[in-house]
């Protein structure tokens, strides 16, 4: 059973870089045809897809966040990391990591479209 767990600071100051890590157990992030996504849900709003890193290491980001987003991976630790730069209070959200073996679903915001997802972690942007 694949399990995903988000970790990182719960509070980030405006203009700083948000950095979150997703640790994967029960499966490898290099398994063929799996996509590893980041998704967020601001308070009172719907889910928003941020980007993914594929089994090959290639990345793809939401056009609206692309200029501020970077997703990388550490295969030796079986982790992938989200960095979101120049954050503002509008980046306050619950952040989720998720995975799917279907490339058609890898850019969707709804967690139920994924094979596996973490429980989410709250990140607040505030001074």
Q: How confident is the model at residue 55 (pLDDT cuts 50, 70, 90)?
A: very high
Beta strands in 56-100 (DSSP E): 59-61, 69-74, 79-84, 93-100
**pLDDT tens, position by position, 60-101:** 999 999 999 999 999 999 999 999 999 999 999 999 999 999
> Positive or negative CA dihedral for 7, 11, 13, 14?
positive
Average pLDDT over residues 100-121: 94
């Amino acid at each position: 059973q694949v399990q995903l767990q988000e970790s990182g600071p719960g509070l980030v100051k405006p203009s700083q870089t948000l950095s979150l890590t997703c640790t994967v157990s029960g499966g490898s992030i290099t398994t063929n045809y799996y996509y590893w996504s980041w998704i967020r849900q601001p308070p009172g709003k719907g889910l928003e897809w941020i980007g993914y890193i594929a089994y090959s290491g290639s990345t793809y980001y939401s056009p609206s966040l692309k200029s501020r987003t970077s997703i990388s991976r550490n295969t030796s630790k079986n982790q992938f990391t989200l960095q979101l730069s120049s954050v503002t209070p509008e980046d306050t959200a619950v952040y989720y990591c998720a995975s799917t073996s279907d490339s058609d679903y890898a850019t969707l915001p709804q967690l139920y479209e994924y094979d596996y997802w973490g429980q989410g972690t709250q990140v607040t942007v505030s001074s």
